[in-house]
Amino acid sequence: MSVTSRLPMVITEVSSKVQFPAKLRGTIIEKWANYWKNLFMDYRQMIQDLRTDIQDEPHKALKYTTGLVTAYLLAQANPSELDFKDSLKRFANEAALVSEECQNPKAYGHLRYLETCYNQSVIHYKSLGIASIMYTTEVNDTCDLYKAHCKYLKPTYLSFPSRIVDIGFMGRWWNMYIKTTNYDVNI
């Protein structure tokens, strides 16, 4: 008999042997002990069921495990706002070293737009777990104009995709990477 199959019997034997003193019966201490005992038994039963499910359907278990590991690795490689700022500064510094005749106007314009958004504090970061987005708003958070408070002037949810500046996935900000790949080639 294996250790895992003997464990439930040992726990039930120990729990039946352990008796609370008469003065502690019906108190919060006994309820607390029963809660933890029941919680442990529930998780033990869940693990046993999981083991039998894995043995019955190993291909399904492999698919779920692969999916969970992939999601975990993508979440670990999810870029942050600091990564975005770092990439922006790095590309802007590299583009500044190229003469104006050789600069790609689209790449340079995109970098200038992002810098302007940062200067106006209208660019924001949102992490979605396995991916991140950078998006712009019309006014910054500290703006106290009527436009910032009027519900009729606020952007709709349908306009949100047009305000997305960049998408971060697998450790890279893709829009910035694509637009600045040939920053030194004037097209």
What is the average pLDDT across 7-31?
Answer: 68
Q: How do the domains of the chain map onto residue ranges?
A: 3-56, 81-179
154-186 pLDDT, tens digit each: 777 788 888 899 999 998 999 888 888 877 777
| Residue % of the chain over a pLDDT of 90 | 28
Comparing 145 with 73, which gets the higher pLDDT?
A: 73
- Apex CA 170: angle with CA 103 and CA 165, to 5°? 50
| Residue % of the chain over a pLDDT of 70 | 88
What is the model's pLDDT at position 4? 53
Half-sphere exposure of 120 (CA within 13 A, CB side): 13
The alpha carbon dihedral of 86, 123, 77, 110 has a sign of negative
Comparing 3 with 151, which gets the higher pLDDT?
A: 151
Comparing 96 with 17, which gets the higher pLDDT?
A: 96
Whole-structure pTM value:
0.66
What is the model's pLDDT at position 33? 83
Q: What are phi and psi of 172, to 5 degrees?
A: -140, 145
**Tokens representing residue 68 in the block:** 């969970």
DSSP one-letter code for 98: S
What is the model's pLDDT at position 12? 59
Q: What residue type is assigned to position 88 of the chain?
A: L
What is the model's pLDDT at position 142? 79
What is the model's pLDDT at position 163? 86
**Tokens representing residue 85 in the block:** 């700022």
**Res. 39 pLDDT band, cuts 50 70 90:** very high
Q: In terms of Cα–Cα distance, which of 73, 156, 92, 160 is closest to 124?
A: 160
What is the average pLDDT across 17-43?
Answer: 80
59-110 pLDDT, tens digit each: 888 899 999 999 999 999 999 999 999 999 998 888 888 888 888 888 888 8
- A 10 A CB-CB count for 91 gives 22
Average pLDDT of every residue of the chain:
83
Half-sphere exposure of 151 (CA within 13 A, CB side): 0
CA distance 176 to 132: 13
* Alpha helical stretches, state H, 77-142: 81-96, 105-120
